[in-house]
Chain A
Amino acid sequence: QKEVEQDPGPLSVPEGAIVSLNCTYSNSAFQYFMWYRQYSRKGPELLMYTYSSGNKEDGRFTAQVDKSSKYISLFIRDSQPSDSATYLCAMSEGGGFKTIFGAGTRLFVKA
């Protein structure tokens, strides 16, 4: 079993839809939870990061962490065609430990 599980999709939604992306994990020592976005032919770029449990909002994006369920989510409101990309969840124990990534979910937002 992988440490981090993420449905690779693809996920196709119409413009303006609310998108929900999720990951589950098995390592209870993870403390830092991140979402990266990767466009075709580019490296991943950090979208959001959260420490421990709770919610964090940044514009149209909301990240949620539920450590009791070992489950994290990224919500995208009012999705745009420019949001079409691969979204990768990532987790770390912090303090210099390696960062583990999910497989990435391919998202298509149709105009």
Chain B
Amino acid sequence: KAGVTQTPRYLIKTRGQQVTLSCSPISGHRSVSWYQQTPGQGLQFLFEYFSETQRNKGNFPGRFSGRQFSNSRSEMNVSTLELGDSALYLCASRRDRDSGANVLTFGAGSRLTVL
């Protein structure tokens, strides 16, 4: 069974540009969450999507946005990139939003470097 797939794995952008990251969840998983991981802050929750609707949102500025498609694939977008946006962006999927264990399966991440 295929795992969570994130593309691209690595990318380099310059300040002011925008970036779109993609996540394909495990087949049958309807919930997709996005996290930002940095050495100083650890794993910070960005947002969660379930059935194409944003269900939870973290404390990030409006430059960070996302969406989910009818096939559960998700994308996140960061506009007007800043140096501090350099991080590993992780996507995680879960079968059912109401699954009590809330167990997440992560992808390998997209490493963004902003110059």
| Residue ranges of A at the interface with B (Cβ–Cβ < 8 Å) | 6, 8, 31-32, 34, 36, 41-46, 49, 51, 88, 90, 92, 94-104
Q: Which of B31, B55, B108 contacts A43 (CB 8 A)?
A: B108
Q: List B contacts of A31 (CB < 8 A).
A: 100
Whether the Cβ atoms of A101 and B35 lie closer than 8 Å is yes
Q: List A contacts of B50 (CB < 8 A).
A: 96
Whether the Cβ atoms of A99 and B42 lie closer than 8 Å is no
Whether the Cβ atoms of A98 and B109 lie closer than 8 Å is no
| Residue ranges of B at the interface with A (Cβ–Cβ < 8 Å) | 4, 31, 33, 35, 41-43, 45, 48, 50, 55-56, 58, 90, 92, 97-98, 100-109
For the complex with contacts A95-B98, A96-B31, 19 further pairs of A-B residues with Cβ separation under 8 Å are: A34-B102, A41-B108, A43-B4, A43-B90, A44-B90, A44-B106, A46-B103, A88-B42, A94-B100, A94-B101, A94-B102, A95-B100, A96-B50, A96-B102, A97-B102, A99-B33, A101-B35, A104-B42, A104-B43
Whether the Cβ atoms of A98 and B33 lie closer than 8 Å is yes
A6 → chain B closest CB, angstroms: 8
Whether the Cβ atoms of A102 and B42 lie closer than 8 Å is yes
CA–CA, A101 and B4, complex, Å = 19
A3 → chain B closest CB, angstroms: 10
Q: List B contacts of A46 (CB < 8 A).
A: 103-105
Which 7 A/B pairs are nearest by Cβ-Cβ distance?
A: A43-B106, A103-B42, A101-B43, A92-B102, A96-B97, A98-B56, A94-B100
